[in-house]
Amino acid sequence: MGTKRKRQKQEALFYASEQAEAPGHPFYQRLNQVLNEADFDAFCEQQCAGFYHAKLGRPSLPPGVYFRLLLIGFFEGIASERGICWRVADSLSLRRFLSYGLDEATPDHVTMSRTRRLLDEAVHQAVFTWVLAEVANRGLLQGKTIGIDATTLEANAAMRSIVRRDTGQSYTEYLRQLAAEAGIDPDDEAAVRRMDRQRKKKTSNAEWVNPNDPDAEVTKLKNGATHLAYKTEQAVDLDTGAIVAITAHGGAVGDTTSIEETLPAAGAAVAEHIDTPTAQGQYKVHGQGLCEVVTDKGYHSAASLTRMTEWGVKTYVSAPKKGGKTEPSAVVHANLRRVESDRGKALLRKRGELLERPFAHQYETGAMRRVHARGRDNVAKRVLLQAAAFNLALILRSLMRAGTPRGLADLAQSVLSVLWRVLGALASCERQVSRPIAHSRSCSARWRCVRTTHASAVDLGSDTGC
């Protein structure tokens, strides 16, 4: 297994001034400082030791470098592993972040993809948990009130490639068979398409599957298009905005089903960090662990509310409108009373802010709205590291007021803009103050001139005897 210690080498035997070097990006320098202070590379190598042979095989990609590559995908807004490797090969600052010199070849996408397939989901989950421990250690996790929400990610599979589960027919072959049974010429493509538009239920997940990505499911995306997709669901601390747990599912899995995996994972993650030492003056992990859960109306059902209540958490789940009628259940009425209270309304407003923001950072600016990996396990690995990178961004935002390299550049630009405005305002004030002073000085000079002229006229009169 490649390790950070094995990659250390002696300095080259020539003057340092003769070697081209980049000063390094200040954001990645601070990120490396945070990771090195907590022995990130040693932890990754310990977790991944069981997947490598001690002596045999070609030199492998060090685990610390592999996980840093996935972090770069979030911070640079690159979705594909091929794009990440191309960006690293072209950037001197990213080479420095990964500790690669100019004479070394950076990792290629084949090695990166093979390493992802080699390491299981549990290792990626361990790295996410390690980052969450750093978040708790720096006082950025409380864990008392958790908000849960889900979003869909477009899968790396095309709808035109789906086949029947029972016969293996493609969609086109199946349509031609239906047309022949209905007395329509199967070779008439216009007639076959017209018949397809008139059918009601077309692509059920129980009947159709994509052979290239069997775990992807047909569902409707945020933009209204029907596509093969995955669903990712995450639990967010509503006091700090940190992601506590994240799970991946098929695109058609219902919210009331997926929360049965996400909520226990969030409760276990918070309970694990109750005894984590916290920075002075910051948030401390709640001593009783997870106590409240806030979700939208997609999670509302009597069975789901009953199950969450049995787990010992208070529910603040938005109730869907059902013509003034509610389900006859004490749990449903209790949830409705909490939602309509002042605290419930405040929590629902906070949910709309703190749950949508991580989705925007991870999947919009983080460029993961469409995944390039196939299989639920591989998608789960990517979203786990995407969430870990978001939590690292929270740490860096608390240290340097910027969570991404672009955010740091915008911060520097805004500071310079404010400084320029302040200097302009000071210059304007100085001009306004100096204008009356100059005016008073000119008036004094004119008055001295008048007095001198008058005195000269008096003296001239006396001399001539007038």
Look at residue 207 in the predicted model and tell me its pLDDT.
Answer: 92
* Calculated CA dihedral for residues 135, 136, 142, 145, nearest 10 degrees: 60
Low-confidence ranges of the chain (pLDDT < 70): 1-2, 4-23, 201, 280-281, 322-328, 435-466
| pTM, 2 dp | 0.85
Look at residue 412 in the predicted model and tell me its pLDDT.
Answer: 78
Say if residues 376 and 250 touch (Cβ distance below 8 Å). yes
Say if residues 376 and 347 touch (Cβ distance below 8 Å). no
Tokens linked to 20: 């081209």
Dump pLDDT digits (tens) for 340-367: 999 999 999 988 888 999 999 999 999 9
CA–CA gap between residue 266 and residue 387 (Å, rounded): 13
Q: Strand, helix or coil at 314?
A: strand
| CA–CA distances in Å: residue 335 to residues 4, 191, 249, 326, 349 | 52, 53, 27, 11, 16
CA–CA gap between residue 147 and residue 366 (Å, rounded): 21
Say if residues 25 and 93 touch (Cβ distance below 8 Å). yes
CA–CA gap between residue 279 and residue 95 (Å, rounded): 32
CA–CA gap between residue 150 and residue 128 (Å, rounded): 18
Q: Strand, helix or coil at 228?
A: strand
Look at residue 459 in the predicted model and tell me its pLDDT.
Answer: 45
Q: Are strands 226-237 and 217-220 parallel, antiparallel or unpaired?
A: antiparallel
Look at residue 36 in the predicted model and tell me its pLDDT.
Answer: 94
Dump pLDDT digits (tens) for 308-340: 999 999 999 998 876 555 556 889 999 999 999
Tokens linked to 455: 């005195």
Q: Are strands 145-154 and 163-164 parallel, antiparallel or unpaired?
A: unpaired
